[in-house]
Every structure is written in C-alpha cells, then in structure tokens.
C-alpha cells in the first residue's frame, strides 16, 4: 500500500482527520462543525485524586519509545476507527517524523499512552489508552506540561467525551478552530 505522507499532513493541516468507517474497511477524511480542545492554559484541570498519583511518581514518561504498542493499545477496543489501513498510515507518519506517542511507563511496562500527530505548533490527538490504572490520565497531565513548555498553540482532541471533560476540555466551532490551527502552523515546535 502506497501512503502519500505529504498529502495526509496537508489534510490534517487544513483541519480534516482520518477515520475508518464502522465496518473498519473504508478509510476517509472527516471534518466537524465543532472541535474539542484540551486547554494549554489555566483552564486545564484534573481530578484531585490524580494529584496524589502524580506525587507518588509511579510513572515515567517517554516519547515514541514503543509507538507501535500505543497504536495497538488505542485500536484494541470493541468499536474502533483505527483500522489496519489507518495503523499503516500512522506507522508511515511516524517514520516520517509526524506521528508520535506520548507514553507513561511503570518500570519496563507500558502503562498508557496518547497517540497524536504533530504539525508545527499543533498536537492533534488521535486516541489514548491505558493498561495500568491512571496511566493515560498521567500521560494527559504530563503531555499538557510538555506542550506548554514547548510553546504549542493547540491540543486538538477532535471529539468530546466525559473523560476529556474532566481535564477541562472545551468545544469550539470550526471557524475558531481553523483560526487557532493557522496560528499553530506559524509556530515551530517539537514534541521531542
């Protein structure tokens, strides 16, 4: 399968995202009238109980230490938009330096992770998972810290859910999203 990495990055840079349909066979581009963002400012929050976990330093973090395992973890659920074809796309984007996993580890065991695409000052979150309780929550807190420190403009979570709302996620319309995305694309940032 031939994967056109520049065209895929251009699609994401225009505000689209890839998903497989419910059958898991057809991969296509999607857009939305609304986008969910994770705040990179003072609006970011997390449950108080998570602060105790953070204080215990049970997890370490890494960028793309086991990218493939994070993709597999994100796809391993009853209904998923991450088809075999989309896994290959992520792998190609990873090899080209665009797709990354932000991971938490407990010793030598992968605890959780967030899969995303980095285009300049935008982190486009594709999915997240955990194997060890609190693994993905700690990954979220530590990823936001890293994105802030590296002057990212945008953490796009695409669609909302109750889990993301616990971190202060908020929804904006597509016009505002595209304005923020344009600002993010003017900034040169790196996750690593």
Query: Residue 23: pLDDT band by 50, 70, 90 thresholds?
Result: low
Stretch 94-100: mean pLDDT? 98
Helix (H, G, I), strand (E, B) or coil at 138: helix
pLDDT tens-place string over residues 167-190: 999 999 999 999 999 999 999 999
Helix (H, G, I), strand (E, B) or coil at 181: helix
DSSP code for 66: T
CB environment 90-121: b (16+ within 10 A), e (fewer): bebbbeeebbbbbbbbbeeebbbbbbbbbbbb
Query: Residue 1: pLDDT band by 50, 70, 90 thresholds?
Result: low
Q: Which domains does the chain have, with CATH numbers?
A: 5-185 (3.40.630.70)
Query: Residue 24: pLDDT band by 50, 70, 90 thresholds?
Result: low
Measure the CA–CA gap between 29 and 96, rounded to whole angstroms.
Answer: 20
Contact, 102 vs 143, CB < 8 A?
yes
Contact, 120 vs 184, CB < 8 A?
yes
**Does residue 86 have a pLDDT over 80?**
yes
36 DSSP β-pair partners: 158, 171
Q: How many helices (H) and strands (E) does the chain have?
A: 7, 9
Say which residue, 83 or 63, is predicted with more confidence.
63
**Does residue 26 have a pLDDT over 90?**
no
Helix 84-95 with 67-75: angle, nearest 10 deg: 160
Distance of CA 80 to the CA centre of its chain: 15
Measure the CA–CA gap between 69 and 52, rounded to whole angstroms.
Answer: 27
Q: What is the pLDDT of residue 48?
A: 87
Measure the CA–CA gap between 51 and 134, rounded to whole angstroms.
Answer: 11
Report pTM. 0.94
Q: In this structure, what are the phi and psi dihedrals at residue 18, rounded to the nearest 5 degrees?
A: -95, 140
Query: Residue 77: pLDDT band by 50, 70, 90 thresholds?
Result: confident
Stretch 157-164: mean pLDDT? 87
What percentage of the chain carries pLDDT values higher than 90? 82
Stretch 86-95: mean pLDDT? 96
Q: In this structure, what are the phi and psi dihedrals at residue 113, rounded to the nearest 5 degrees?
A: -170, 165
Q: Which residues contact 28 (CB under 8 A, 6 or more apart)?
A: 18, 19, 20, 21
């Amino acid at each position: 399968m031939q994967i056109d990495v520049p065209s895929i990055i251009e699609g994401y840079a225009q505000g689209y995202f890839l998903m497989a349909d419910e059958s898991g066979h057809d991969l296509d581009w999607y857009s939305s009238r609304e986008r969910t963002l994770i705040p990179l400012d003072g609006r970011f929050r997390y449950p108080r109980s998570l602060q105790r976990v953070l204080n215990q330093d049970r997890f370490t973090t890494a960028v793309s230490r086991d990218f493939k395992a994070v993709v597999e973890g994100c796809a391993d659920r009853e209904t998923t938009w991450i088809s075999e074809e989309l896994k290959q796309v992520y792998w190609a984007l990873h090899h080209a330096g665009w797709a990354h996993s932000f991971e938490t580890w407990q010793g030598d065991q992968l605890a959780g992770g967030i899969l995303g695409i980095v285009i300049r000052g935008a982190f486009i979150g594709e999915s997240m998972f955990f194997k060890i309780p609190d693994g993905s929550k700690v990954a979220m807190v530590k990823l936001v810290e890293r994105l802030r420190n590296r002057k990212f403009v945008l953490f796009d979570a695409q669609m909302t859910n109750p889990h993301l709302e616990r971190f202060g996620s908020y929804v904006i319309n597509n016009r505002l999203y595209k304005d923020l995305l344009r600002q993010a694309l003017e900034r040169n940032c790196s996750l690593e």
